[in-house]
Structure 1
Amino acid sequence: MPSSSPCSSTVPFVPVVLGGDLPTYTLARAFHAELGVRTTVLTRGVPYAVRDSRIIDNLIFAGMDDLPALADHLHGIADARPGHRFLLMGTMDAWIERIGTMRHLLDERFVVPYPQLDLIERLNDKQNFAALCAELGVAHPVTRVLEHELTDTQVGEALEGMKWPLVLKAADPPAFYELDYVGKRKIGFADDLSDLLAQRRVMSDAGYAGALVIQERIPGGDEQMRVVTTYSDRSGTVRWGRVGHVLLEDHDPAWVGNPLAIIHAEQGDAVSEAARLLEHVGWTGHANFDIKVDPRDGTHYFFELNPRLGRSHGYLHAAGHPFLTPLVREHIEDRDPLDGVEMGLQRDGWLYSVVPVPLLMRYVTDPATRDRVKEIRRNGFVMRPYVYGADRHWSRTAAQVRNDAALTRNFARNYRRPVTS
């Protein structure tokens, strides 16, 4: 990462993050690198992603599903740090919706840097997002929505004219996330109607009562994927955005589609198209989009909006983009978000990789991209999520080794050869 001294905040504050998964650690790492602050992480246990970190205060609270009790606990945390403000964040949709639900229970010491809950729920619903794309003429895969009460015959009628294979997604991600059943897949693929109906029945039997979003599959493998991260100020104006070129996604059924390795990509029209969507609805704060580039004609198809920093925000940190400082400038210090902030180059020579690079290279098929990754590796410009010089500890190194081993096993089991078509 480009070397620079941390920015400082004119107002004492503490980042508080709910949940202790890997994106929580990379978020805390970015807060420390950018602003020189420790992050308080609230979890039910002690997940290895944050264990033994010297930049995190990990607090255990078993009652995180009880929102009034959680709010009281947060006030207790604030009482122990008089004179500070508290920036409350989450790294998963379920936490963002819970934060939005309980924001009225929090006192003035807490800052919630997300839109109001009704807007979050509207745009986090894949059906509504598809409708917004259609309204604004933003490229989006051909989509049908199957309400839960439709019969099998009605499902077949609703899908007439679509080209198989099709992609299945829960229209209500937070509700789907809460389910636990054998064969659960974050994203499903159906070759024909009988296959789709069988998967629908499994989800319904497991307790999912929401709609399904069905989309035509855009050809191409992981390397056709892009992520876009933006920041909108409190007036709803998009102030910056950066595009990441995904090289490899997770193929574990529970996490399929989550980016695991990213380099920077050309901006193209992706940021301006994202800005059209966000400014139309008055979005504020960070947003993250999943996009796929159609190899047939180069069209950038927008899949969904995540109402938060994506799990892969490490690609911004790897390149030295101070993506958290604008948030602090505006929401904590009441200043312009880009006051004194240099966002860095739109494209650079850094790689963010959750997977070990030798494993990544088995799946990068484009010759030019392979050459670029090799050059980045030769230059040593590779960010691994657990390896942070300011947070050295033998267990952190062990966590990276353990994570690498688990991912290697998962890919051997779930994704032996790259899909390119």
Structure 2
Amino acid sequence: MSMPVAPHSSTTPFVPVVLGGDLPTYTLARAFHAELGVRTTVLSRAVPSAVRGSAIIDNVVVPGLSEPDEAVAAVHRVADAHPGARILVLGTMDWWIERLGEIRGAFDERVVVPYPELPLIERMNDKEQFAQLCAEVGVAHPQTVVVDHDVAETQVGDLLGSLRWPLVVKAADPPAFHHLIYPGKKKVGYAADVAELLDLRRTMSEAGYAGALVVQERIPGGDEQMRLLTTYSDRAGRVRWGRVGHVLLEDHDPSWIGNPLAVMHGTSDSMLADATKLLEAVGWTGYANFDVKVDPRDGREYFFELNPRLGRSHGYLHAAGHPIVTPYVREYVEGRDPYEDVTTGPETDDWLYAIAPVPLVRRYVTDRAVRHRLTRVRQQGRVMRPFVYAPDRSSERLLAQVKSDVLFVKNFASHYRRPVTS
């Protein structure tokens, strides 16, 4: 396979290493290949379908990757195999980011971890502390009550007295929640009354969850009211860049509910200004990904949470011509300014990044103006699919996209037959 003519190059030899193997692992590898012309080493516990058969990835199976010592040793083996190269280690899920925060001190000088220190990651990843920060700096956040694990059931109703039902229920500790196993598990829960909330709380507790619950009023509106915001802060804690994504459709599989499946490029100066207040108040560095919902009643932008990494749907940035891994390389590998000799795409370019099949996406888009925009973007061929990448074409890659599309069609038929707009 010939390497593409990459728009950027590195002055320092390096190898990107990604822990995981899910879809964003592949799209990260795709970005490294397209932007810098390099292959990515993926460390995974098995051979995941998202990277199987890829010509731009070296997949190394490490059965004990979840164990700290095994993870450190596996990364060092990659460094041993590439003498003279820096090793840039990334993760694609919150719990991988926290694990890297725990073990970063065990890596030798060849290894670079481009994330904030663990205490800051934990603070911003904690939904209760994030809500408190929003209040402190004056950023809109849904009215929230935290129900601690030791609050008696008889007190829960009074504690939630100021909120209007139905309510959204989330685990305050996402990494701990990730490992729970129980029937009917949903990433985000809903409760119509106190009885439903208490039943969910008991179920989670019996499964081993010992953290608090974050209970919020639900902001009205369907998937199309959701926005993504991705920002990059340099090592001095200054927000240098940010771009909005307009979500057209979210996943409605209970295990993945809320994950964006189709994103168009968008803009919002006010949203970026609010994110800047949050990030610079705590000295954040590197990428941050925010979930934001626009209230259809008055257009107010409510910040829900921060993900301490590039979001699962970061392909919306790559589609619109924004380098997403080059700033990491510039700053953390080369020691240069993250945007030196880096050109980002036009802020107003219309592109669609579609994880789900586009006809399925169109079926669920209800806003006439958005449907018109979607039609225009499709006619112009401005659509990016995650597994469709010309330098990495093979029957296995095509099959990965087909399997993914079929799975989404089946899941929507089972879990979300008609769009919800209220």
Q: TM-score when scaled to structure 2?
A: 0.98
Alpha-carbon shift at residue 68 of structure 1 (Å)? 1.6
> For the residues of structure 2 that align with 1:118 and 1:97, how far apart are their CA atoms?
9
Measured against aligned partners, the alpha-carbon deviations of 1:8-32 in whole angstroms (never above 9, x if no partner) come to 0000101100000001000110111
User: Map of 1:16-415 to 2, 5 A cutoff?
Assistant: 16-415=17-416
Report the 3-state secondary structure (helix = DSSP H, G, I; strand = E; otherwise coil) of the residue aligned with 2:16: strand
Note the alpha carbon deviations across 1:365-387, whole angstroms, 9 max, x for none.
00010010001111111100000
Cα separation, 1, equivalents of 2:34 and 2:74: 27
Distance across 2 between alignment mates of 1:96 and 1:275: 22
Amino acid across the alignment from 1:56:
I
For 1:6 and 1:54, locate their aligned partners in 2 and report how far apart those are by CA, in whole Å.
20
What do the CA deviations read for 1:282-307 (whole angstroms, capped 9, x no partner)? 00000000000000000000000000
| Aligned counterparts of 1:119 and 1:5: Cα–Cα separation in 2 | 34
Contact kept in structure 1, 2:5 and 2:37, CA below 8 Å: no
> What is the aligned residue count?
419
Structure 2: unaligned runs, 5 residues or longer? none
Q: Which deviations, in whole Å up to 9, do the C-alpha atoms of 1:123-168 show, x marking residues without a partner? A: 1000000000011110000000000111111111110021111000
The percent identity for this pair of structures is 64
Q: CA RMSD in A?
A: 1.0
Q: Could you tell me how far 1:268 is from its partner in structure 2? A: 2.8
Contact 1:267 1:346 in 2 (8 A): no
Indicate the SS of the match to 2:360: helix
SS of corresponding position for 2:183: coil
CA contact (8 A) 1:15 1:38 kept: yes
Distance 2:346 2:156 in 1: 47
Kept in 1, the 8 Å contact 2:235–2:286? The answer is yes
Contact preservation (8 Å) 2:321, 2:346 = no
The answer to whether the 8 Å contact 1:170/1:210 transfers is yes
Amino acid at match of 2:360: L
Distance in 2 of aligned mates of 1:75 and 1:161: 52
TM-score when scaled to structure 1?
0.98
3-state DSSP of counterpart to 2:65: coil
SS at match of 1:17: strand
Please report how far the alpha carbon of residue 346 of structure 1 lies from its aligned counterpart in structure 2 after TM superposition. 1.4
Instruction: State the shift of 1:4 in Å.
Output: 7.7
CA distance in 2, matches of 1:312, 1:330: 23
Structure 2 SS opposite 1:327:
helix
* More off after superposition, 183-192 vs 196-205: 196-205
Q: Please state how far the C-alpha of 1:6 moved relative to its aligned partner.
A: 2.7
